[in-house]
Chain A
Amino acid sequence: MAIKRILLCCGTGVATSTVANKRLEAELNQRGYKGQFTISQCKAVEVPAKSGNFDICVSTLAMSYKCECPLVIATGIILNRGTKEIYDQVEKILWKSE
Chain B
Amino acid sequence: MFDKKITLFHQHAETKEQALEMLANRFIAAGVVKDTYLEGILKRESVFPTGLFTDTYGVAIPHADSDYVYENQLGVMTLDEPVDFNYMGNAGEIVPVRIIIMMAVQGHDQVDMLMKLMSIFAEPEVLQEIIDCNDYETFAEIAKRIGL
A interface residues, Cβ below 8 angstroms from B: 10-12, 14-16, 18-19, 21-23, 41, 44, 60-62, 73, 75-76, 78-81
Of B53, B105, B108, the most chain A CB neighbours within 10 A belong to: B108
The answer to whether A41 and B108 touch across the interface, beta carbons within 8 angstroms, is: yes
Determine, out of B13-21, B31-39, B44-52, B135-143, the stretch whose residues face the partner at the interface. B44-52
The answer to whether A73 and B111 touch across the interface, beta carbons within 8 angstroms, is: no
Bound CA–CA A81/B121 (angstroms): 10
B interface residues, Cβ below 8 angstroms from A: 44, 47-50, 52-54, 61, 63-66, 87-91, 103, 105-108, 110-111, 114-115, 118-119, 121-122
Known: A15-B61, A16-B61, A75-B88. 6 other contacts (CB 8 A): A11-B44, A12-B63, A14-B107, A16-B114, A23-B115, A62-B91
* A-B pairs with beta carbons under 8 A, tally: 75
The smallest C-beta distance from A75 to any residue of chain B, in angstroms, reads: 3
Bound CA–CA A60/B48 (angstroms): 10
Contact of A79 with B52 at beta-carbon distance under 8 Å, contacts A14-B66, A15-B63, A61-B89 already known: yes
Contacts of B44 in A (CB 8 A): 11-12
Which one of A10, A19, A76 contacts B111 once the chains associate, using CB atoms below 8 Å? A19
Contacts of B121 in A (CB 8 A): 78-80
Contacts of A61 in B (CB 8 A): 48-49, 88-89
The answer to whether B118 and A78 touch across the interface, beta carbons within 8 angstroms, is: yes
Contacts of B89 in A (CB 8 A): 60-62, 73, 75-76
The smallest C-beta distance from A84 to any residue of chain B, in angstroms, reads: 14
Contacts of A60 in B (CB 8 A): 88-89
